[in-house]
Structure 1
Amino acid sequence: MDLDLTWLLWGLPLAFALGWLASRLDLRQWRLESRRAPKAVFRGLNHLLNEQQDRAIDAFIEAVQNDPDTSELHFALGNLFRRRGDYDRAVRVHEHLLARGDLTQKDRDRAQHALALDFLKAGLLDRAEAALRRLEGSAFASEARQALLGIYERGRDWSQASAMAEQLDTEQPGSYQIRLSHFLCEQALERARQGDRPGALQLLEAATARAPEAARPRIERALLLQQDGAAGPALDMLLETSAHAPQSLPLVAHPMAQLAKQTKRQAEVRQRLQGLQSQPPSLDVTEAIAQLSEDNTQARATYLAHLGTEASLVVASRWLADEPLSDPQAKALVLRALDQAANPLKRYRCAACGFEARQYFWQCPGCQSWDSYPTRRVEEL
């Protein structure tokens, strides 16, 4: 059978026309989808600028559906879920990114870091630790170690925290020596609770050698000595603390006054406190000096000297308590009112988060920051 060349001549142009038409349809469809995706992205950004996170999430979900291969949209969506507190969906987004085979190593590390943050914010510390461990050797390794240090501190795993802080101390420009000193103090307190007093004192000596300018190791050693009945050495340790760390004087003034009375060294310690009293005067130091006074007249003069320099409701109530009045009942009523008004002023306030507490904390219970509490009371700030 002879091949008819006429059909061939007609078929080639027809096939070319059909191919061209199909390509134009595909190109038009791609253009429509690419236009829809940027519109959704810009709409999401606009909602973010207006602090409308729910609408921004809806817009980014639409953008991801139109362009599922764009990793940046997934990162933006996952971060929005985390900021909103929807940690389950944030985890799913970042796990989906990690499951993709076309992801670059840089984006894979970024997704791993984002996943670790999801677990950390959700309070899943064991899963966060495992995720952070996988970032070793990546560009996020330093941030991962910082996060791991926070996890160990929250879990009070002081040996692991010490090892991580040692590693960070060799890598970071800042010093971790004071924080390492705190870790040794925490381990010493655990030893003391277990009855190992020599081991606790040895750790506190190591903490002092680690950070000689830190006040806490010496204060903890003095308190242990006081508990063991060694009032003289305990007082000497506090006097040494006031010399090495003058900023800690408000913290040690009261125990110094107590130990001075036990050791009959009131005059020596009172003179030392008066010489170290700062300007403006400290509430705790003023009270300690008044406690070491020879009589009420001298104590009232101490309070009046403070009031002459710095107005204080707390000191005024202390002065009134020592002032002899003709009507004891009226005095009791006034003192009760003053004490109630002054109680909130006696607290300590964290400089990092504002958490207030009646006692002094070396580590803030609210934000977990170290040494964030000023040694002065709220009234003095």
Structure 2
Amino acid sequence: MDFDLTWLLWGLPIAFGLGWLASRLDLRQLRIDNKQAPKAYFKGLNFLLNEQQDQAIDAFIEAVKSDPDTSELHFALGNLFRRRGEYDRAVRVHEHLLSRGDLTKAERHRAQHALALDFLKAGLLDRAEDALRKLDKTPYEGQALLARLAIYERTRDWKRASEIAARLNELGQGDFGSRQAHYLCEQAATLPADQAEPLLRQAKKAAPDAPRPRIDLAALQWAAGDFEGTWRTLARAAQKVPAALPLIARSLADAAKATGRVAEGQEILGTGYELFRSLDVLEALASLESDPEVTRDWYVRHLENETSLVAATRWLAGERLEHQEFHGQIQGALEHACKPLTRYRCAACGFEAKQHFWQCPGCQAWDSYPARRVEEL
């Protein structure tokens, strides 16, 4: 049977035409896809700028479906889920990113950091810690260490917090000497005196200008009956950290009486009072006076320079009134009115407390409580 070349002559142009048509259809579909993906992306961005997060999420999901390999869209979607509190969905997005084999090293580090933030925001501290550890030796190491530090503070794991603070110091992320001193003091507070004292002395070396290690060490010495050591520690603290004198004034006065150094105590406290006009220093000075009238004169001197309801109330407590039978009610009313003025106030969040805190119970900030009372601010 002879082969008919006519079919070959017709077949070649037809095959060429079909191939050309198929390529045009593929290009057309590609253009459509490329137009749809940016359109959905920009629509989502517009919703986001208008704080319409629900619509933004829908638009980004549409964009991700059109181009599932676009990592930036996944990051945007995961961050939106986290901001909305949908942490499980944010985790799934970022875990999906980490499972991909085509991510660059920078994108993988970024996805790992985002996943750690998801766990942190969700309160899954163990999983957050594990995720943050994987960021060591990456561009996110500093941020990861700060996040781990916050976790250890929150869980009161002071030993590991101290280790992280030391690493942050080495990386040049700031001066964490004062923070390290607090961590050592927190550890010392839970230990017997013989184990606590070395930690407090280590805290002094970590932050020579921090008052807390000296104050805690003096309290330890006082409890052990070492009044000479207490006096030396507090006298040195008054010289080294004068701004903290209101916090140590009463203890300094007690140590001065216990060691027979009343005159020296009066000199230190008198000099400090002239600098700060503090009520705590004033009352410590008053406690060193044996004559009640001299004590009351200190309050008068304070009132000459400061308008103080607290000082006026203290002075009035020893005054004999014309209607003495009403003295108790009047004094009680004044003492009640003074209570809010004798509190300490956090400079970061405004949380007020009867006692001075090294770490604010409200906002968790360190060293945010001034040594002065509300009336003196």
**How does the TM-score come out when normalised to structure 1?**
0.89
Deviations 1:275-298 (A, max 9, x none): 112555223222322333344433
Counterpart of 1:327 in structure 2 is: 323
Match of 2:344 among 326, 336, 348: 348
Letter in 1 for 2:124: L
SS at match of 1:365: coil
Letter in 2 for 1:191: L
Segment of structure 1 superposing worse, 371-380 or 122-131 = 371-380
Work out the number of aligned pairs and report it.
377
How far is the alpha carbon of 1:172 from its aligned partner?
1.1
Counterpart of 1:290 in structure 2 is: 286
Segment of structure 1 superposing worse, 9-18 or 239-248 = 9-18
Counterpart of 1:32 in structure 2 is: 32
Letter in 2 for 1:213: D
Q: Is the CA contact 1:280–1:310 (under 8 Å) kept in the aligned structure 2?
A: no
How far is the alpha carbon of 1:267 from its aligned partner?
4.1
Counterpart of 2:214 in structure 1 is: 218
SS at match of 2:189: helix
In the alignment, the residues of structure 2 paired with residue 119 and residue 42 of structure 1 have an alpha-carbon distance, to the nearest angstrom, of 29
Segment of structure 1 superposing worse, 57-66 or 248-257 = 57-66
Deviations 1:325-373 (A, max 9, x none): 2334544444444444433333323333433332222223334332222
How far is the alpha carbon of 1:246 from its aligned partner?
0.6
Counterpart of 1:378 in structure 2 is: 374
Structure 1: tracts of 5 or more residues without a match: none
Letter in 1 for 2:94: H
Letter in 2 for 1:125: L
Counterpart of 2:50 in structure 1 is: 50
In the alignment, the residues of structure 1 paired with residue 19 and residue 326 of structure 2 have an alpha-carbon distance, to the nearest angstrom, of 104
How far is the alpha carbon of 1:94 from its aligned partner?
0.8
SS at match of 2:191: helix
In the alignment, the residues of structure 2 paired with residue 62 and residue 154 of structure 1 have an alpha-carbon distance, to the nearest angstrom, of 39
Letter in 2 for 1:38: P
Q: Is the CA contact 1:280–1:309 (under 8 Å) kept in the aligned structure 2?
A: no
In the alignment, the residues of structure 2 paired with residue 115 and residue 109 of structure 1 have an alpha-carbon distance, to the nearest angstrom, of 10
Segment of structure 1 superposing worse, 353-362 or 107-116 = 353-362
In the alignment, the residues of structure 2 paired with residue 58 and residue 341 of structure 1 have an alpha-carbon distance, to the nearest angstrom, of 57
Segment of structure 1 superposing worse, 292-301 or 281-290 = 292-301
In the alignment, the residues of structure 1 paired with residue 328 and residue 55 of structure 2 have an alpha-carbon distance, to the nearest angstrom, of 61
Letter in 2 for 1:310: E
Segment of structure 1 superposing worse, 206-215 or 70-79 = 206-215
Write out aligned runs for 1:165-180 (5 A): 165-172=165-172, 174-180=174-180
Counterpart of 1:80 in structure 2 is: 80
In the alignment, the residues of structure 2 paired with residue 134 and residue 299 of structure 1 have an alpha-carbon distance, to the nearest angstrom, of 63
Counterpart of 1:21 in structure 2 is: 21
In the alignment, the residues of structure 2 paired with residue 279 and residue 66 of structure 1 have an alpha-carbon distance, to the nearest angstrom, of 70
In the alignment, the residues of structure 2 paired with residue 91 and residue 317 of structure 1 have an alpha-carbon distance, to the nearest angstrom, of 60
Deviations 1:42-95 (A, max 9, x none): 333333333333333333223223322211111112122222222211111111
Deviations 1:164-210 (A, max 9, x none): 22222222153332222222222222213xxxx22211222222233
Match of 2:364 among 355, 365, 368: 368
Counterpart of 1:130 in structure 2 is: 130
Letter in 1 for 2:120: L
Write out aligned runs for 1:197-276 (5 A): 197-263=193-259, 265-276=261-272
How far is the alpha carbon of 1:138 from its aligned partner?
1.7
How far is the alpha carbon of 1:264 from its aligned partner?
5.0
How far is the alpha carbon of 1:110 from its aligned partner?
0.7
How far is the alpha carbon of 1:244 from its aligned partner?
0.8
In the alignment, the residues of structure 1 paired with residue 23 and residue 333 of structure 2 have an alpha-carbon distance, to the nearest angstrom, of 87
Percent identical pairs in the alignment equals 59
> Given the superposition, is the C-alpha separation of residues 254 and 129 from structure 1 closer, same or farther in structure 2, using an over 3 Å criterion?
same
How far is the alpha carbon of 1:263 from its aligned partner?
4.4
> Given the superposition, is the C-alpha separation of residues 48 and 332 from structure 1 closer, same or farther in structure 2, using an over 3 Å criterion?
farther
Q: Is the CA contact 2:40–2:59 (under 8 Å) kept in the aligned structure 1?
A: yes
> Given the superposition, is the C-alpha separation of residues 211 and 3 from structure 1 closer, same or farther in structure 2, using an over 3 Å criterion?
same
Counterpart of 1:108 in structure 2 is: 108
Write out aligned runs for 1:1-12 (5 A): 1-12=1-12
In the alignment, the residues of structure 1 paired with residue 173 and residue 361 of structure 2 have an alpha-carbon distance, to the nearest angstrom, of 27
Q: Is the CA contact 2:142–2:173 (under 8 Å) kept in the aligned structure 1?
A: no
How far is the alpha carbon of 1:234 from its aligned partner?
1.4
Deviations 1:96-151 (A, max 9, x none): 11111211111111111111111122222211111111112222122222222222
In the alignment, the residues of structure 2 paired with residue 334 and residue 21 of structure 1 have an alpha-carbon distance, to the nearest angstrom, of 102
Q: CA RMSD in A?
A: 2.5
> Given the superposition, is the C-alpha separation of residues 173 and 90 from structure 1 closer, same or farther in structure 2, using an over 3 Å criterion?
closer
Segment of structure 1 superposing worse, 210-219 or 25-34 = 25-34
Letter in 2 for 1:363: Q
